[in-house]
Structure 1
Amino acid sequence: MLEPVDIGRDGKTVSCRIHDMVLDLISFLSNEEHFLTKVGEQQPISLDLPKKIHRLSLQISQEEEVKQLATMSFSHVRSLTVSTKVFQLMPKLSAFLVLRVLNLKKCKGVRNHHFKDICNMFHLRYLSLNAEFITEMPREIQNLQFLQVLDISNLGHKVKMPTIIHLRQLLRLCFRPMWGIRLPDGFGKLTSLQEVKGIITIKLPSMLHNLGCLTNLRTLAIDFCDWDESYEEPFIQCLSNLVSLKSMEIKGTMVSSLCSECDKLYPGPQHLCSIDIESTAVPRWMSSLCFLSSINIELLALGAQDFHVLGSIPSLRCLSIHVKETRDERLVIGKCYPFRCLTEMQIDYESMAVVFAPGSMQNLKELHLVFGVKEVMHKYGDCNFGLEHLMSLEHVSVKTMYSIMPEEVEAVKDEFQKSLDMNPGKPTLIVDYKYPIKRKIRSHAQAIRAAILFANAGRIPATEGL
């Protein structure tokens, strides 16, 4: 009945789907048992509707049908979902005296005065708004003392929200995912908060003190406007207090090592499973997080100490590394970096200055490499990364950063295939490449240069007329 459609990098199911027939059956049984009363979408208003409706979904679009709502009693409705057309024509929301759940996510006509009216629905636990045209947070929102979920995903990022700090029962707060939101002073009073969906902009070290008070927080995404040394101690203290954290994203810290000299966070987010950060180096405190299974990290440079920390994380399964600066010599990854559980890795590195030694990463199954082919050839003379030494490897994907010519692509494929043919597991290979936008006819001199560049790859590109 349930089929997973999205699998997380930790191997766990993120979302599921059900067959249309099963959905129809659920809808039918919901109506039959009066669990949910759905009006509209081929379900007209009729006299057969139950007298006491608890969960109501109004999707009607005809004005005549909307007018019939005036004859209905809403005194028992606990949950309400409405479409835009219904919202524009229906009676005031204040008619729903004991409403617990209000879903106006698909209503494009919600304005400030509607929001203010909603704030008098004292029993609300769940509120989802299309806040596109909301320009201010009503002071009356503090009336919603039982509110647990507030979804204002498309609220403008300049709208100030000083009064939300009074929602002490709030568990989930949803903003526009990709826009930074500056929470009001005193937001540390929202101690019941478990999830903030959206990026919190950090402009002052004092905001980290407020953030550290949210000890029930499970997911967190923050973006530092201008990181400097004054943030270091408050950051470590904040992170140490967030003991319930399971997923964390930190941006705006490329100029910082994120207090990498700190070996351990106490008590710290010991149940943290996923982390996405920017840093000059891999922080040492990451090795103390026993349940950390997925890391996406952007580094200024890559060194042996970084692999030492990453390799010692006991539960790490998925690793994605993006490196900005090159290095003079290749970094050899050997047995000294355990990576006991690592099964999938991506390295995004222009010069791809790494090579796998015998016995390294013994459980790695998938490897994704993104690099500049010509940059690697000029710097090291070949594209041999020791893939024959990865004994559990099943699949390799290679993606070029910059455009290369067809004969250069074939040379890269050949070199990778040679390495994989020596691997006992015979991994599969996919090469994703970019051709120049304008494919000009290669001159005699260009063909010679390509032949010289890829000679070490064991295959001379085709050079007509040589």
Structure 2
Amino acid sequence: MPSRLGFQALRVLAIEDCTFMKDYAFHLENLGRLHQLRYLGLRETPISKLPKEIGELRFLQTIDLWECKNVEALPQSIILLRQLKCLRAGGAACKPISVPDGMGNLTSMEELWLRYVDKCPNFVQELGKLTELRNLNICIELPESWMCKTFVESLGNLQKIQVLSLHALNAKLSWEGYAHDLVTLGEFPELLRLERCGSDNDIPVVMGGNAFHKLRSCNMTAPLRFLPGAMPSLERLEFTVHVQPLKEANFDFDFGSLENLPCLREAVILTLTAAALLFTEIMLMSMNEQVS
């Protein structure tokens, strides 16, 4: 950034997927002078942090730091961005990222991607204040039982969620707790896609009633059994069956319950055995087809 900026009316700044020569520093010290900025795109760049002056950009609506592998923390001043609607930070190969206390102040947030959040116990409470969220993609460490419970309680406040991707690290959840959590998620009135909602348990959850009324796509790391009325709008399903634990529990998993999903078009089932990973893909072209 030049020290004397002539871009006072700049709305969009996208410096994305860039590499920089070794002798050229990547400076953002003057970013706070772009007072009209709405969009800041820095994904897949070598930056290590945002300047604290980021909090001066009161009209900023989007910050994209996705796959910025060197960013380990968001500045405290980010909680001043009351018009921020979209925040993406972290990524599959990124370092753990910490977020400041007070993230619940960002009440205009509609899309939040954080993978993964580390050592931020207050965040699980603050999350419940972001009631405008439509898209939540989060990987979070939940080493204590109270954090797991609070996290689920916070999710219960996000009634406008349409796309939900969850992954909890070190989560101390019993199977009974996991089943109760699915009941909470099943009551979301606008949820369209649910991804990677997992547990370490292997016994299927029975889904019934009008749970997940609008859900179109579901990707789970545990198997599900479907009673009539469950997920009535589901079109794509993916889950994993752990064969050995089911055998040890004398539990016969019934794939026939898929017939209770009237709109299902595609089911991808990963079958884990002690010897190998078996992959079965079942294409359902209509609700009247027999699943084999």
Please say if 1:138 is aligned against 2:138. no
1:450 alignment partner in structure 2? none
Cα distance between partner residues in 2 of 1:310 and 1:183: 42
Please say if 1:294 is aligned against 2:217. yes
- Indicate the SS of the match to 1:371: strand
Distance apart, 1:243 and its partner CA: 1.3
Could you tell me whether the CA contact under 8 Å between 1:320 and 1:347 is conserved in 2?
yes
If the length of structure 1 is used for normalisation, what is the TM-score?
0.50
Going from structure 1 to structure 2, the CA distance change for 1:118 and 1:335 (only over 3 Å counts) comes to closer
Cα distance between partner residues in 2 of 1:128 and 1:176: 13
Ranked by relative contact order (alpha carbons within 8 Å, sequence separation 6 or more), the top structure is 2
Cα distance between partner residues in 2 of 1:176 and 1:310: 39
2:107 alignment partner in structure 1? 191
2:165 alignment partner in structure 1? 249
Cα distance between partner residues in 2 of 1:105 and 1:336: 43
Cα distance between partner residues in 2 of 1:98 and 1:217: 29
Equivalent residues in 2 for 1:362-373, closer than 5 Å: 371=278
Equivalent residues in 2 for 1:63-462, closer than 5 Å: 94-109=5-20, 111=25, 114-129=27-42, 132-155=45-68, 156-178=70-92, 179=94, 180-201=96-117, 203=119, 205-252=121-168, 256=173, 257=175, 258-261=177-180, 264-265=183-184, 269-276=188-195, 277-279=197-199, 280=201, 281-282=204-205, 288-299=211-222, 302=223, 306-308=224-226, 312-326=230-244, 327-328=246-247, 330-334=252-256, 338-351=260-273, 371=278, 392=289
Report percent identity of matched pairs.
Answer: 27
Going from structure 1 to structure 2, the CA distance change for 1:312 and 1:150 (only over 3 Å counts) comes to same
Distance apart, 1:124 and its partner CA: 0.8
Which residue type is aligned with residue 143 of structure 1?
E
RMSD of Structure 2 on Structure 1 (CA): 3.6
Cα distance between partner residues in 2 of 1:350 and 1:314: 27
Distance apart, 1:222 and its partner CA: 2.3
Cα distance between partner residues in 2 of 1:313 and 1:135: 43
Q: 1:204-249: per-residue Cα shift (whole Å, max 9, x none)?
A: 5532211111111111122232444313431332121111211111
Distance apart, 1:122 and its partner CA: 0.8
Cα distance between partner residues in 1 of 2:25 and 2:44: 8
Cα distance between partner residues in 2 of 1:278 and 1:392: 29
- Indicate the SS of the match to 1:234: helix
Distance apart, 1:101 and its partner CA: 1.5
Q: 1:180-207: per-residue Cα shift (whole Å, max 9, x none)?
A: 4332111111111111234242645532
Distance apart, 1:171 and its partner CA: 0.9
- Indicate the SS of the match to 2:5: helix
Distance apart, 1:351 and its partner CA: 4.7
Which residue type is aligned with residue 37 of structure 2?
L
Of 128-137 and 232-241, the range deviating more from structure 2:
128-137
Could you tell me whether the CA contact under 8 Å between 1:322 and 1:348 is conserved in 2?
yes
Greater helix share, 1 or 2? 1
- Indicate the SS of the match to 2:219: strand
Q: 1:117-176: per-residue Cα shift (whole Å, max 9, x none)?
A: 121111111112267343332121111001111122243242442221111111111224
Could you tell me whether the CA contact under 8 Å between 1:236 and 1:259 is conserved in 2?
no
If the length of structure 2 is used for normalisation, what is the TM-score?
0.77
- Indicate the SS of the match to 1:235: helix
- Indicate the SS of the match to 2:104: helix
Going from structure 1 to structure 2, the CA distance change for 1:312 and 1:108 (only over 3 Å counts) comes to same
Q: 1:48-104: per-residue Cα shift (whole Å, max 9, x none)?
A: xxxxxxxxxxxxxxxxxxxxxxxxxxxxxxxxxxxxxxx8xxx65611121111222
Cα distance between partner residues in 2 of 1:275 and 1:160: 27
Distance apart, 1:348 and its partner CA: 0.6
Q: Structure 1: which 5+ runs fail to align?
A: 1-86, 353-369, 374-384, 397-418, 420-466
Going from structure 1 to structure 2, the CA distance change for 1:122 and 1:313 (only over 3 Å counts) comes to same
Which residue type is aligned with residue 221 of structure 2?
E
- Show structure 1 runs of 4+ deviating over 4 A: 109-112, 202-205, 283-287
Aligned pairs, how many? 269
Cα distance between partner residues in 1 of 2:181 and 2:10: 49
Could you tell me whether the CA contact under 8 Å between 1:216 and 1:244 is conserved in 2?
yes
Could you tell me whether the CA contact under 8 Å between 1:263 and 1:285 is conserved in 2?
no
Could you tell me whether the CA contact under 8 Å between 2:79 and 2:102 is conserved in 1?
yes
Cα distance between partner residues in 2 of 1:126 and 1:182: 22
Cα distance between partner residues in 2 of 1:105 and 1:246: 27
Could you tell me whether the CA contact under 8 Å between 1:321 and 1:347 is conserved in 2?
yes
Q: 1:236-292: per-residue Cα shift (whole Å, max 9, x none)?
A: 321211112111112136763454136843995311111121122548699522111
Cα distance between partner residues in 2 of 1:166 and 1:270: 30
Could you tell me whether the CA contact under 8 Å between 2:138 and 2:167 is conserved in 1?
yes
Which residue type is aligned with residue 163 of structure 1?
S
Going from structure 1 to structure 2, the CA distance change for 1:209 and 1:339 (only over 3 Å counts) comes to same
1:360 alignment partner in structure 2? none
- Indicate the SS of the match to 2:101: coil
